[in-house]
Chains A and B, each alone.
Chain A
Amino acid sequence: GAVVSQHPSWVICKSGTSVKIECRSLDFQATTMFWYRQFPKQSLMLMATSNEGSKATYEQGVEKDKFLINHASLTLSTLTVTSAHPEDSSFYICSARGGPGSYEQYFGPGTRLTVT
């Protein structure tokens, strides 16, 4: 149980275009999902916390107009990188809490974004 998927696993896009990344909880309902960014050989940096049916809470320094997050259902959250630039190239990982009162997070396999 507690499987989280991400799609796509990798994507290459041109500068100025937008890219949508999906995060799904496959066998449980996730009221809260998290989006992280990870640069090579570095740790995870939390970008935002996504709660089903409400606006995402962004971490300091993360542009909410650039990284649009939608959590329209209990099993799906999406991250859209708008007007992507090469500096947005990174590994994006989502996670979902295991349920009310659960502190464990279950991670998706990540999406490698390359902006050319």
Chain B
Amino acid sequence: SQQGEEDPQALSIQEGENATMNCSYKTSINNLQWYRQNSGRGLVHLILIRSNEREKHSGRLRVTLDTSKKSSSLLITASRAADTASYFCATAPQGGSEKLVFGKGTKLTVNP
């Protein structure tokens, strides 16, 4: 079942602006991951944040996790046209399950 719910479903911004995407989930997790998918392609792992972490950075990416609200956000700073893609959050449920449960995704369009 789909656990994560991203919002917004679609986001259109200008190059140079920041993009923020949110993800909410329902059950306890071991970690939460963000993936990127270019149209018609596979997914690329962006960043993993563990349940005991609150914030993580990787280059222009900043991820936050609030386990009390069961939510996470992905911030892309100084966006580029090449950042245009769909972004998915995925949760690894607590209990050692190998499975990831993906959200519905946010379609980001960065206009040059």
Q: Does A104 contact B (CB under 8 A)?
A: yes
CA distance A4 to B41 in the complex (A): 12
CA distance A6 to B43 in the complex (A): 13
Contacts of A4 in B (CB 8 A): 42
Q: Looking at chain A, what size class is its interface with the partner chain?
A: 20 to 34
Inter-subunit contact A103/B48 (CB<8 Å): yes
Inter-subunit contact B99/A49 (CB<8 Å): yes
Q: How far is the CB of B29 from chain A (nearest CB, A)?
A: 10
> DSSP majority for the B interface?
strand
Contacts A43-B105, A44-B88; is A105 near B100 (CB within 8 Å)? yes
Contacts A103-B30, A103-B92, A112-B40; is A44 near B102 (CB within 8 Å)? yes
8 Å CB contact of A43 from B31, B41, B88, B92: B88
> DSSP majority for the A interface?
strand
Interface residues of A in 94-116 (CB under 8 A from B): 95, 97, 103-110, 112
Interface residues of A in 22-65 (CB under 8 A from B): 32, 34, 41-46, 49
- The listed residue with most A CB atoms (<10 A of its CB), out of B44, B92, B99, B103, is B99
Residues of A within 8 A of B (CB): 4, 6, 32, 34, 41-46, 49, 91, 93, 95, 97, 103-110, 112
24 contacts between A and B (CB under 8 A): A4-B42, A43-B102, A43-B103, A44-B43, A44-B102, A46-B99, A46-B101, A91-B40, A93-B42, A95-B43, A97-B98, A103-B30, A103-B33, A103-B100, A104-B45, A104-B48, A105-B43, A105-B45, A107-B35, A107-B42, A107-B44, A110-B40, A110-B41, A112-B40
